[in-house]
Amino acid sequence: MSGYIDAHVHVWPGGAGTPPFTPADLFAHTRPQGVARVVLIQPGSCRFDNSYMLEAIRQHPGVFSGVAVADLAAPGLPDRMRALRAQGVRGFRITPGQAPGTWLNTEDMRSLWRAAAELRMAVCPLVNPDALPALDRMCARHPETAVVIDHLARIGADGVVRDADVRLLCGLARHARVHVKLSAFYALGRKQPPYTDLLPLLRLVLESYGPRRLMWATDAPYQTQGVHRYADSLALVRDRLPGVSAEDRDWLLGRTAERVFFAD
């Protein structure tokens, strides 16, 4: 593998009091750490306007892949997904907020899952642990759809890593095409570098999924703010996760993300 892959980063142009975080800003963090490729995630503030992310992909061929946000209610969803795939998008972010009260139980959502399987694209849920049972049922209905769960399902976001939440996340490993991002360490558990309090959680998830269904990511720029440094996120998986072979570490730090988000 030539360089690491960060499987979850946001870039945006800034505005309305928000400073920009451009590809150039990102490279200042990634390149010194040996990160060669990045999966760009459409930020929630941009909603369905994926244009800034798509332009970054276009300007840096081979460096970026993308996860877009689609307007599920607009007509022609499969065709729009196909068009985005042609521009470097390999996944679609979904959240409970896209259909409050029903979320996964809509025909529009089911259409997205079916089209993702046909187009060899991933569905990327941003969820809390309480959404995992419904997600489990959806994965059972759509076993051919690749799924990548963001940020360890936000287990420990309130400061407490609960055994019941860990069991829910590990239980989804029974679905062969479910993957998990080891990411957003700045926001989980004690929320303090070097994040070693999260190692027991990482070990349990690794035992359940294996390295070929897990991928490291930062959630930059958030992982670069305050006491948090980009390098600390990488170091937790690269240097502090015990009992992991060099080959397994290659999968965690790039090969899984490469297979899911960069393969044609």
Q: Per the structure block, which two tokens stand in for 11? A: 């870039």
Q: Per the structure block, which two tokens stand in for 239? A: 């240097």
Mind listing the pLDDT tens digit for each residue in 56-96? 999 999 999 999 999 998 999 999 999 999 999 999 999 99
What is the domain partition of the chain in residue ranges? 4-261
Mind listing the pLDDT tens digit for each residue in 204-225? 999 999 999 999 999 999 999 9
**Beta bridge partner(s), residue 124:** 93
**What is the percentage of the chain residues whose pLDDT exceeds 70?**
98
For domain 4-261, the CATH architecture is Alpha-Beta Barrel (3.20)
pTM for the predicted model, two decimal places: 0.96
